[in-house]
Amino acid sequence: MSLIPFRTKRSSGMEPGSLATLADFRNEMNRLFEGFVSRPLTTSPWLGAIEPGQWLPAVDLSENDTRIHVRAELPGIDPKDVDVSVSEDRLVIAGEKRSDREESGAGWSHRESHYGSFSRAIPLPEPVDPAKVTARYDKGVLTVELTKSPASTSRKVPVQAAR
């Protein structure tokens, strides 16, 4: 005879495999968190898997009736190491990040070097005119201005009444 009353799964009406018990709930939460922590935070369906040591620039995209404005943060990258290419529906920002740091003192020295290439393809919301694209780099920020192609801009069409 037990002094502590308890219910078994069978006596409580709980189905095996359901999350009805606290232990099952805890196990399921642990499984979810383990999956979250084991994947890099930068892994997403639209970016693909990112290898350790890789880096992608943060990008902001905005638009108005005639232009698309893209701003990419590229800290510490020399503008000559950045390539910008555009097609009607995609902007690609690629380049190479290089960083060297050296410190030394009496009887010691320390040097760190980081190198790596990056490429970020940004789907554009509307077709653009590749001939009318400008790119400017200032203090670690790349600004790209794209003019929408005339075929993609909307216009109001007057409706004429039949006679």
Question: b/e per residue, 98-131, with b = 16+ CB within 10 A?
Answer: eeeeeeeeeeeeeeeeeeeebebebebeebbeee
Residue 135 confidence class, pLDDT cut points 50, 70, 90: very high
Higher pLDDT, 60 or 2: 60
Q: Determine the Cα–Cα distance for residues 68 and 157; give it in Å rounded to an integer.
A: 24
With a cut of 80, say whether residue 8 has pLDDT above it: no
pTM to 2 decimal places: 0.57
Give mean pLDDT, residues 111-116: 79
Residue 20 confidence class, pLDDT cut points 50, 70, 90: low
